[in-house]
């Protein structure tokens, strides 16, 4: 009885399009995807690679400059653009809140043809600053940046998922 109910629930959830948060299935023609970046050692690129691989996106091995067959899709990722600004001040005329902005320029190519982009995904987050504890402010900013990198990577994955690709 319980197995039948569990099976029915699983069937119902899969039939309505339910998927776990953060999971996406890219169109088959995007696989394998070649990832090109200006800064190959950036935290954002590492997070993007992790998100793609955890969503079963096959990444093409690095073939060097111009050694590939030019027939597959290439995701070009620019440099991470980060900025911070004071949003409000406290009663002591010190920064009370900061706004962090993180942006990722990207484009998708199929051989020499530009399929999407160049586009720029951006996120902003606001956090409180403790003027008495600069270390806490720095740690909070780093934690927020890690979360923003994860969010930007997932946004890019979902953007690739809904792209109209030529057949």
List per-residue pLDDT tens for the chain, 167 residues long: 666 566 666 656 555 554 445 456 777 788 899 999 998 889 999 999 999 999 888 898 865 444 445 678 999 999 999 998 888 877 777 777 889 999 999 999 998 899 998 999 999 999 887 767 767 777 888 899 999 999 999 999 999 998 887 76
What is this structure's pTM? 0.74
For 23-161, the fitting CATH number among 3.40.50.720, 3.20.20.330, 3.30.43.10, 3.30.160.150 is 3.30.160.150
The residue extents of the domains of the chain are 23-161
Instruction: Report how far residue 156's alpha carbon sits from residue 147's, in angstroms, rounded to the nearest whole number.
Output: 14
Instruction: Report how far residue 5's alpha carbon sits from residue 15's, in angstroms, rounded to the nearest whole number.
Output: 15
Using DSSP, state whether 65 is helix, strand or coil: coil
Instruction: Report how far residue 152's alpha carbon sits from residue 114's, in angstroms, rounded to the nearest whole number.
Output: 21
Instruction: Report how far residue 26's alpha carbon sits from residue 14's, in angstroms, rounded to the nearest whole number.
Output: 17
pLDDT at site 47:
94
pLDDT at site 68:
46
pLDDT at site 16:
55
- Count other C-beta atoms under 10 Å from residue 102's C-beta: 22
- Count other C-beta atoms under 10 Å from residue 45's C-beta: 21
- Whether 85 contacts 76, CB under 8 Å: no
């Amino acid at each position: 009885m319980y197995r039948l109910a569990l099976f029915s629930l699983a069937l119902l959830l899969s039939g309505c399009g339910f998927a776990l948060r953060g999971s996406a299935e890219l169109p088959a023609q995007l696989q394998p995807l070649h990832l090109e970046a200006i800064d190959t050692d950036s935290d954002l690129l590492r997070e993007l690679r992790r998100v793609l691989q955890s969503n079963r996106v096959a990444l093409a091995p690095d073939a060097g400059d111009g050694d590939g067959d030019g027939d597959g899709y290439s995701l070009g990722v620019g440099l991470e653009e980060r900025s911070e600004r004071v949003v409000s001040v406290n009663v002591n005329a010190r920064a009370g809140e900061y706004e962090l902005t993180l942006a990722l320029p990207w484009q998708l190519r199929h051989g020499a043809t530009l399929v999407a982009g160049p586009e720029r995904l951006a996120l902003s987050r606001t956090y409180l600053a403790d003027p008495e504890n600069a270390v806490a402010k720095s740690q909070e900013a780093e934690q927020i940046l890690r979360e923003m990198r994860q969010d930007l990577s997932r946004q890019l994955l979902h953007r690739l998922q809904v792209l109209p690709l030529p057949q």
